[in-house]
Amino acid sequence: MGLYNETVDFLSGAFSNHQTQIPLLAVTGASFTLGLLARSVFPQNESLPTVLVSPRSTVLPESENRKLPLPADALPGARDVASPYGSMRVYEWGPEDGPKVLFVHGITTPCISLGGVAHALVDRGCRVMLFDLFGRGYSDCPADLPQDDRLFSTQIFLALTSSPISWTGAESGKFCLTGYSLGGGIAAAFASYFPKLLSSLVLLAPSGLLRDSHISFQSRLLYSKGLMPENILASLVSRRLKAGPLASSKPKNEKPSAADVLTEELPSQSAAATQILSREYPHINIPSTVAWQVNNNKGFVHAFMSSMRYGPILRERQWNTWARLGEYLTAQNSASSNEDKRPADNKVHILCGNSDSIIVKSELVPDATAALDGNVVFKFYEAGHEFPSTKYEEVASYIFDIL
């Protein structure tokens, strides 16, 4: 039962005897009681600073920087962009006149997870931009704002306007927006409000249409604000993140918990060993990067918990957002047909893994098709949720073909 069991064990040794079979109802009732008790015993830590600072402020000698699991210059074209929300890290490189691709990464990993795809697209003549979401990698975290569609859309604009070249002007040629996992939900939400800025939309194992039934009751309790003191929850989430990838896959009939969701972006150790996400630092791999991030970015755990609570993940919250995008695409396709012109790329391209236990193919296809009014194309790979970091050449080829 993942973090939920950790919560109970952490607060009361009475539940540490795993030979005792406790009915779910009794455990649930106990969690509420223990939660109320904990709130009266432990400090609530309500006075968080406005901005939680990232590791960017720690300047290391070049020899030490090179040894980090995530060196400060892991990707080309690194820059730190100041904003009212804190500093954010952006990477941008490739031919200035090439087709433009902006990447948005997932809930757990910084943008280095999409480094392999980005490098492969630059090899094909593209201009790419990646950035660390607030609280990940080298980006600060605004501690007083929810990590929701509004904050994420603002961050996308901050990244775009920091570029030395135009990504949105009349002569820019627009850009392809590519989002992975949570970034897929972020990208879909952004596209639903600002579709005219985009040349195409590519979603890699996207959140946003995850069925409510896939979030276990235990996880709902854990991520319900106010049940437990925030500092205790943060400590438990931090411990689970430090534990690394799941030791084994979940049975098909068992709901993945929030603890499982956050580790699905992490490839197996064998897969991680074959990744080349940074050409400057081939040693970089996602598991060690996430472990470093937990220990060194003060805003990471806060950002993860806030994204789980408020981010574009669940179908019940995001259906209207996807439907708005579908209505726009239907209108565009109708207009193109009436003008008897070759239609633009008025489809959403969704790429997923056949064995993804979080974004389930049999549910995603009918749900996305209905929400987007049929304006969608699917591509599936023999892989799991982590496929963008292991099959980056194939993913890059697909994206380049639609640019």
pTM for the structure as a whole: 0.85
In a domain, 46, yes or no: no
Q: How far apart are CA 129 and CA 178, in angstroms?
A: 10
What are 76's two structure tokens? 């080309």
> pLDDT tens digits for 108-148?
999 999 999 999 999 999 999 999 999 999 999 999 999 99
Q: How far apart are CA 58 and CA 66, in angstroms?
A: 14
Q: Note down the domain range covering 135.
A: 51-212+265-338+350-402
In a domain, 32, yes or no: no
What residue ranges in 2-123 does DSSP mark as E strands? 51-52, 78-81, 88-93, 100-104
CATH number of the domain enclosing 55: 3.40.50.1820
Residue 52: phi and psi, rounded to 5, are: -95, 120
What are 197's two structure tokens? 């800025």
Kindly give the pairing relationship between strand 127-131 and strand 88-93: antiparallel
In a domain, 376, yes or no: yes
**pLDDT at 12 (0 to 100):** 32
> pLDDT tens digits for 365-401?
999 999 999 999 999 999 999 999 999 999 999 999 9
Using alpha carbons, select from 102, 185, 104 the residue that is nearest to residue 367: 185
**pLDDT at 273 (0 to 100):** 61
Residue 89 and residue 137 in contact, taking contact as beta carbons nearer than 8 Å: yes
Using alpha carbons, select from 381, 395, 402, 363 the residue that is nearest to residue 208: 363
In a domain, 329, yes or no: yes
DSSP 114: G
In a domain, 36, yes or no: no
Q: How far apart are CA 207 and CA 188, in angstroms?
A: 9
Q: How far apart are CA 208 and CA 313, in angstroms?
A: 4
**pLDDT at 5 (0 to 100):** 37
Q: What domain count does the chain have? A: 1
DSSP secondary structure, 136-201, as one string: STT--EETTS--SHHHHHHHHHHHHHTSSS-SSSTTS--EEEEEETHHHHHHHHHHHH-GGGEEEE
Q: How far apart are CA 113 and CA 377, in angstroms?
A: 24
**pLDDT at 246 (0 to 100):** 40
Measured over the CA atoms of residue 168, residue 170, residue 173 and residue 177, the dihedral's sign is: positive
pLDDT along the chain (403 residues), means of 10: 35 34 37 44 59 90 92 97 97 98 95 98 98 98 96 98 95 95 98 96 96 72 69 79 53 52 58 81 91 93 91 95 98 76 75 92 97 98 92 97 94
**pLDDT at 221 (0 to 100):** 61
Q: 376: helix, coil or strand?
A: strand
Residue 109 and residue 385 in contact, taking contact as beta carbons nearer than 8 Å: no
Using alpha carbons, select from 86, 285, 349, 27 the residue that is nearest to residue 18: 27
In a domain, 70, yes or no: yes
**pLDDT at 254 (0 to 100):** 56
Which residue type occupies 1?
A: M
In a domain, 71, yes or no: yes
In a domain, 328, yes or no: yes
Kindly give the pairing relationship between strand 51-52 and strand 78-81: unpaired
**pLDDT at 220 (0 to 100):** 67
**pLDDT at 212 (0 to 100):** 81
- Tell the residue number behind the tokens 């600073």, with chain if given: 49
Q: How far apart are CA 86 and CA 134, in angstroms?
A: 8
**pLDDT at 60 (0 to 100):** 84
**pLDDT at 353 (0 to 100):** 95
